[in-house]
């Protein structure tokens, strides 16, 4: 994981939850790469993801291209999320709609036995611990005291962030019962911003700026960014709505959030 140079803006990529609609976030990033001729992941210092966004974040940090993630979701949907039947029954009410085995198998095909610590980028992946009724974060060892999560399997982390209650069963990990991070942070941009300005020590505003500049916008893009790309959900997207936008106030911290719905 590379260090951020003095005076350079700290860039955050934030990827929302949204089930199979996560293909939209991956497609937006794939189109950026195609149009700009760049490798998008190289331009971000921290990536945060929730649920399907967490799976995309893991893929990007392990070297997969956004286009490969689009193909993954295209192939994933029909096989993993086949409905068990249209008629609701008492049995449906007592168990998750989809079995975990299909998703785990699909993720294993892609990630194999790789560990979270193999990430090439700083990562924050959200989950929720039902047992302790508390938030749960998977964080790469980008700080000296972060020595817990690096040895976890990528597949387990992906399952834990995407285990949406009633849709997929929770994941048991070291005594914790983990479910979808969307229960508390479907848009993880604020979580990532707190990591950047807190433990990582990157200011959200230049010295002398108004405190109001620290407030993130609803789309997960900080109000003081100099170059932000804010992409609305699939229902309102247009070619122009995903264009880069510039603001007048200089800054060293910025977030890019690609909502999925």
Active site residues: 51, 180
Kindly list the distances between the CA atom of residue 142 and the CA atoms of 7, 26, 56, 113, 207, in Å, as whole numbers in the listed order: 20, 25, 19, 21, 25
Alpha-carbon distance 183 to 117, whole Å? 25
Distance CA 220, CA 256 (A): 7
The CA–CA distances, whole Å, from 195 to 41, 152, 162, 221 equal: 18, 20, 21, 15
Token couple for 221: 């893009």
Q: Are 163 and 171 in contact (CB under 8 A)?
A: yes
Is the sign of the CA dihedral 38, 188, 47, 164 positive or negative? Answer: negative
**8-state DSSP, 81:** -
Token pair listed for 206: 């230049």
């Amino acid at each position: 994981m590379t260090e951020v140079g003095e005076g350079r803006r700290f860039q955050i990529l934030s990827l929302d939850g949204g089930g199979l609609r996560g293909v939209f976030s991956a497609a937006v990033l794939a189109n950026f790469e195609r149009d700009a001729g760049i490798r998008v992941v190289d331009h971000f210092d921290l990536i945060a993801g929730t649920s399907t966004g967490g799976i995309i974040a893991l893929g990007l940090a392990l070297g997969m291209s956004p286009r490969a993630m689009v193909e993954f979701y295209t192939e994933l949907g029909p096989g993993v999320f086949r409905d068990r039947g249209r008629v609701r029954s008492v049995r449906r009410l007592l168990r998750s709609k989809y079995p975990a085995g299909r998703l785990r198998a699909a993720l294993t095909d892609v990630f194999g036995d790789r560990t979270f610590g193999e990430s090439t980028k700083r990562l924050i992946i959200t989950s929720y611990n039902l047992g302790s009724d508390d938030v749960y974060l998977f964080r790469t060892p980008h700080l000296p005291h972060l020595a817990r999560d690096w040895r976890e399997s990528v597949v387990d982390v992906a399952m834990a962030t995407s285990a949406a209650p009633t849709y997929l069963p929770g994941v048991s990990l070291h005594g914790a019962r983990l479910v979808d991070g969307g229960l508390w942070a479907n848009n993880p941009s604020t979580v990532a911003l707190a990591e950047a300005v807190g433990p990582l020590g990157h200011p959200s505003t230049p010295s002398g700026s108004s405190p109001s500049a620290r407030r993130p916008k609803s789309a997960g893009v900080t109000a003081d960014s100099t170059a932000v790309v804010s992409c609305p959900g699939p229902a309102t997207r247009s070619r122009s709505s995903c264009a880069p936008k510039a603001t007048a106030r200089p800054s060293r911290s910025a977030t890019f959030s690609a909502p999925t719905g």
